Chain A
Amino acid sequence: MAKKDKLPKLGLLYLDYVLRFFDRSNFKGWPDKIEQVVYHWGNDKDRFIEEVKRKKIDILIGNIPATAYETFKEIAKALPHVRFVPSIETQFANKSKENVTLFCEKHNLSHPKTKIFYNKEEGYKYLEECEYPIIVKRSYGPSNYGGYYVHKVKSKEDAIKLFDKKKYNPMYIQECIPLRADIRVMLIGHKPACAFWRVAGDDMEITNTSQGGYMTYEGVPMGALELAVEASKAAKAEYWACDIAEYDGKYYILECATAFAAFPYFRDWIGQYLMWDFSGGRFKKPHIPLYNWEELGKINPSLLRTMRHLEFSKYIPSADGAYYINDKDAKWDVELTEESVPEDIPDNSHLLENIKDEDELPEVVKEEAKKGEEIHDEVDDGDIHIEEATLTELMTLHGMEEDLAVEVLKFIKTHKINSLEELMQIEGIDAQTLKVWAQNLKK
């Protein structure tokens, strides 16, 4: 039996004041020790880098809060051989609403029309001429502040009053898509693994479950899932969440990020998926059926949040001749679900517990946050550099399948690649495929 490749050393990235999204239990079965590194707010950069080096960590797993994004860009530079999961680039959208907009524009993802003004005069001028209602958001800071920084503004007068009072900079102004509900889609490895509607409460005009709306796992449209997949692929995100609005048959990304709240079983799935990625395919990629949420959503949330390490086996596709017969059985009959109740909401209290309002944040955190405000971000080019490609990145290529991605990765690791054409030595890759891949995959 051939000796297996050595597995990379994993480390979990924690920050003070921020909920620990993963712990070791999410990586059940990983044979080696998993390290932990904690970033302390304030002037901790160098110490942190030292600790990662000392512990010989190859992969650092964890979300970076918006406020520390700029610092971590520097940290990543100082640790060129460490893979951040999700990558710093992937977490770009986490940082601010403005970044979400930039990200969507860059990748041609459907997004509400948005104007961002750093120049107050221009911004106020725009308020004079734009059509109302509009949505005004505070661009920086975590998105999950419970809607306190999202406002629906019905008139010019109200808008001016709001900006006078809140002094948001930049002025982030978005077309208002009329909706009573939006859709949260959570993805793992570009596949929707959980999704639900968030429906506004009776007297609310902006959807937010933490302000008393309710949610339902029923009838999430395929178009929303498709858009979320597109975004996840564009971000090359190992795991990802999108908030999507539907209006008049079209879908719009409202928010997207790698930071979101999720039940433990969901984090286990991410762990299983990451283990597949990190091991180059030695661990099996978990199979998570589409629309599983409609069924899991029937489970009482107080029970569901205690369930761990759920697994599904794969459906065997029908043989061609039997297509008419098999097709009927292949469809999930998920039409009937119990009526959802407010308690169905995934637990995101941790964020609210820790951060009630921006003003309550420790000064050091606020200072960190300010660091980035002057820097205008650019989205990265979206290219995958073949020598450093991960399985997750390879999975964003058109026509890629998981087994093929593992083969490509092996090939990359065992060959010196001079041109992409060399990949044609791999069974199942032809010139047309490469032509499509070449748009993202670079030597």
Chain B
Amino acid sequence: MKQLYHSYDEAISLFKELANRRPDIFRVQKIGETWEKRDMVVVTISQDMEKAEDKPALFFTGTIHAREWIGIELAIAFAQYVDRNIAYDEMVKSAIKNTTIYMVPCANPDGFEYSRNHFSFWRKNRRQNADGSYGVDLNRNFPVGFVKSKNPSSNVYGGPEPFSEPETRALRDFVLSHPNIAMALDYHSQGNVFFPAHDFRHEDTIDTTDLNVLCANMAEEIRKISDREYGIHQGKPPAKLISGSGREFYYSQGIIATVVEVGTRNISDYLDDMIEHIREHIPALLTAARETPNYKRDDKIPRPQNFRATFVGKDNVTLEWEPYDCSGKDDIYFEIYRSKREKSYCRPFNLMGLTQANRFADNNLQSDTAYFYHIRAVDRNSGKKSPFAPVLAIRTHVDDDEFHRTYFPIPSKSGYVAQKIEDNSSHFGNNSLFVGVNETKGVAYSVVTIPLKTIPENAVIKKARFRLYPLNRVGVTVEKYGEWDVGLVDRATMGDITKFEDVENMKIKTYIGRPTPSNHLSQGIWRSWELSEVECKELQKCIKDKEAVFRVEGPKELTVGRTSQMMQWDLGYGKYGEGLAFRPHLEITYSVEPSRIELFPKQSHTVSNSGTEDGKIVCGFDKDGKKIYATFDFELGSLPSWDFLAITRAYIVLNPVNVYAKDNIRFHLEMIDSEVERDYEAIKQRHIIENIGYDVSISELKNEEQVFLFDSYAIQEFGNRLQQKKPVAFLLRPSSAHKLVKNSVVEWHSSHPEYTPKLVIEYLNKRRKSVSPVSNLKYTIENGKVKLSWTNPKDADFKGVFVIKNPFRKPISPYDGDKLYGGPDNWTYDDFGALDIDKYYAVFTYDNVPNFSEPVILEYKAKR
């Protein structure tokens, strides 16, 4: 398995051979010397080598951890790929035309050789420590967040002081002397995940979105090759963050930096895995290289400011941002990308629009659905692009007949049970959700119990998804086999959910969604199991039990030589959980069986040239070919108030009595102003509010009842009348393809108890407007945390508040930020928030739909 890998000397020879043969594209330079007197080298790849130092550069570092051999192998393969393809491959050509790539193929040559020759799992370099042990973890030897450790024999010992090692000093000196470096990728194994740089704070950084998009774009290239999905996770408190890594040092220099954790093993089987990893990462690396010029230090197009959603509807959203006020602003246009998942790529196929305005309306959205928007500016002359504005998250409003619920697990009834563990009950509400199999735990299942308390028994679940957050743990190494399934448990067979045997034997009513295959388990990106209609019906049956129990299961067998195929999902509670933002949840969009009301006309008229007749509904053409209209009026007093009513359907039913007509006339139903005089001239001059439904032809009548269905605009107009407490009037109008038609009329029932015209309204009792916002929002600092408090409104329908924070802009949508709290309390802590960062806190109240109030926004100014 090791034979196919290159030694350090072989690798250097290969690079030198390339540099000798193609000095215009390749260059090899010594940048330092290790403890064991090996040369540290950087390989430069750029078209037109003399100009290499003038171009924005991508800095590649590999194998800083000795046993993580992907770095040096990828560097070799990439250089060879460039050499082979440069003659004809546009991707390669464009990548190195405007970008210089500096590669340190192996940042730890001593350790790498020690790993190759002596001890495969060596990680550190070969420094001699004070206690006689060897090695400093070079990726803990950089100054940002450096921690002085007293344990040199530790695998992550960071050295006596920052830059104590010749290897890190060489990297530092190279980076500091190359201000053209704009992007840095540090290749590690393992985990199939990107770990972008962070600033040790809980709030996103201004370039979090840039980092996530870069990683996502690279990940999409990887998926193209192998259908493997890479995770993305920027470290944040409360997760334990590593100290003194190279990534944070590069980032501190203004360089966009990320760690790339490749594969599932440090030293993969070359033929089975390493070749695939290399193939995956070459297009990803090219993508990063092509993006590099946009991040040139000190010469970026400014990112769009105050990107926000000024309107969010059930199927549309309006986005706005600040107009550019700089020279050349007329050459700027904007790209807007839309996605349905967090941390999405921005590729041509999700580019929704280009505009030079500072406003964009996006339509054709689904109701009650989360969307994520990205925007960047482009200079149309140079083609250069700006960094991204911080991602904008919204959730479309529920449709008229819809309600939304997000339910979190009951901690005491959620946890994992493992075959080989005695006290499984202690995991509940405490440990992460382990699912899969490993040597120490055996097979493990997780049980997640979701309360269904505020959903009515007559609810009709339209859609639902169950979501789990995969923990960002390098230790989670999952091979490419097996799948993770979520089953809805038959509570009758459930037994004790804290006993392994009972959990294993419980009956599953239905598995939900599609299983997640191992290669789609991406750390740091939510996984969703979306319920089908059939599965929604099963879930619906759980409502009467007031809870739904899910069992999560994974692979149950280990392959030879592996000790673990175990996934950890965040429980979001307890000391191992990362809190509310990462808690498992069940999202439900539901409707209820509507109430139905039938209204009968208060009066009806036939209006013709010869006069107006009460109580009769006749419509057609008279003997002179003049139109005969029929009108009928409804009083709406018996309907609930518009503010608490959602009309799901409305229609008018008419029944013909007699047809005295040829078949070439048609009838239209109009909604008209009820105050119009019922005389022929006034009717002819009427104002049409809206046409209802489609027109009906004589041939369709055949004595059958006719239904004129309101479209949504008509319902809206109907609502306006209801709000104004006005009656509504409808007018039946004839039309014909011929210029002149005479003596053709249809008489409709107007007073028959069964066939009389009726206005049928199907509706839900549902609030249209939000309850009042909170008042007296203020913050104090308690125990080193921001504590927010407010006064809740007195409205009877008040259900709770959403508290979010956003460090970049005033959040208008309750989903545009980190959620800190959801519930009926009148205070919360920003538990992990940084006190030295300005930010906006926003509190939204909600009712049981939910309709969200306007936010009450509090600006937090950091103390300096």
Contact = CB atoms under 8 A, between A and B. Distances in A.
Interface string A392-409: 000000110010000000
A432 B36 contact: yes
Given A191-B132, A229-B128, A330-B153, A222 B148 contact: yes
A80 to B, nearest CB: 31
Nearest to A324: B475
A291 interface: yes
A190 interface: yes
Given A324-B475, A398-B35, A432-B37, A222 B160 contact: yes
Contacts of B121: 320
Interface in A389-443: 398-399, 402, 428, 430, 432-433, 435-436
- Which of A192, A432, A436 has the most CB atoms of chain B within a 10 A radius of its CB? A432
A324 B476 CA distance: 11
- Chain B CB within 10 A, most for which of A289, A323, A334, A428: A323
Interface of A: 189-192, 221-223, 225-226, 228-229, 249, 289-291, 315, 317-318, 320-321, 323-324, 327, 330-332, 334, 398-399, 402, 428, 430, 432-433, 435-436
B298 interface: no
B118 A428 contact: yes
A375 to B, nearest CB: 34
Contacts of A228: 130
Given A222-B149, A398-B35, A428-B118, A323 B128 contact: no
21 contacts: A191-B132, A192-B131, A222-B150, A222-B152, A222-B159, A222-B161, A223-B161, A228-B130, A290-B131, A291-B150, A315-B153, A317-B153, A320-B67, A321-B563, A321-B564, A327-B154, A331-B149, A331-B151, A398-B36, A428-B118, A435-B36
A330 B117 contact: no
B425 to A, nearest CB: 22
B376 interface: no
Contacts of B134: 399
B130 A290 contact: yes
Interface residues of B, number: 34
B130 A330 contact: no
Contact of A249 (B131, B152, B161): B161
B155 A226 contact: no
A435 B110 CA distance: 13
A332 B151 contact: yes
Given A192-B131, A324-B475, 5 more contacts: A225-B160, A290-B131, A317-B153, A432-B38, A436-B36
A189 to B, nearest CB: 8
A226 B160 contact: yes
B126 interface: yes
Contacts of B153: 315, 317, 330
Contacts of B475: 324
B130 A430 contact: no
Contacts of A323: 155
Contacts of A334: 150
A228 B37 CA distance: 23
Contacts of A226: 129-130, 160, 164
B622 interface: no
B535 interface: no
Closest 4 CB pairs of A and B: A290-B131, A225-B130, A320-B121, A222-B160
A398 B149 CA distance: 22
A292 to B, nearest CB: 10
Contacts of A191: 130-132
B259 interface: no
B156 interface: yes
A171 B130 CA distance: 34
B557 interface: no
Nearest to B114: A399
A432 B161 CA distance: 27
A145 B132 CA distance: 32
B64 to A, nearest CB: 16
Interface in B648-668: none
A160 B63 CA distance: 59
Nearest to A192: B130
Contact of B155 (A192, A222, A318): A318
Contacts, number: 83
A433 B474 CA distance: 33
A290 B150 contact: yes
A15 B433 CA distance: 71
Nearest to A430: B117
Nearest to B35: A398
B113 to A, nearest CB: 7
Given A222-B130, A223-B161, A226-B160, A435 B151 contact: no
A295 to B, nearest CB: 12
Nearest to A400: B128
A214 to B, nearest CB: 22
Contacts of A320: 67, 121
Contact of A399 (B128, B150, B156, B563): B128
A327 B156 contact: yes
Contacts of B148: 221-222
Contact of B128 (A315, A398, A432): A398
Interface in B763-811: none
B473 to A, nearest CB: 8
Most buried by A among B151, B153, B156, B563: B151
Contact of A330 (B37, B131, B154, B564): B154
A433 B154 CA distance: 23
Nearest to B475: A324
B128 A330 contact: no
A436 B34 CA distance: 11
A372 B34 CA distance: 41
A186 to B, nearest CB: 12
A190 to B, nearest CB: 7
B712 to A, nearest CB: 56
A332 to B, nearest CB: 6
B437 to A, nearest CB: 15
A436 B37 contact: yes
Contacts of B159: 222
A432 B33 CA distance: 13
A178 B563 CA distance: 56
A221 B160 contact: yes
Nearest to A291: B150
Contacts of A223: 160-161, 164
Contacts of A291: 150
Interface in B119-136: 121, 126, 128-132, 134
Contact of B150 (A324, A332, A402, A436): A332
B529 to A, nearest CB: 29
A225 B128 CA distance: 12
A197 to B, nearest CB: 15
A191 B131 CA distance: 5
B682 to A, nearest CB: 84
A434 to B, nearest CB: 11
A226 B155 CA distance: 18
Nearest to B563: A321
Contacts of A327: 154-156
A289 B36 CA distance: 26
A398 B155 CA distance: 19
Contacts of A289: 131
Interface in B520-579: 563-564
Interface in B150-190: 150-156, 159-161, 164
Contacts of A229: 128-130
A334 B164 CA distance: 24
A435 B149 contact: no
A222 B148 CA distance: 8
B503 to A, nearest CB: 25
Nearest to B109: A432
B153 to A, nearest CB: 7
A190 B154 contact: no
Contacts of B473: 324
Interface string B34-51: 011110000000000000
B130 A331 contact: no
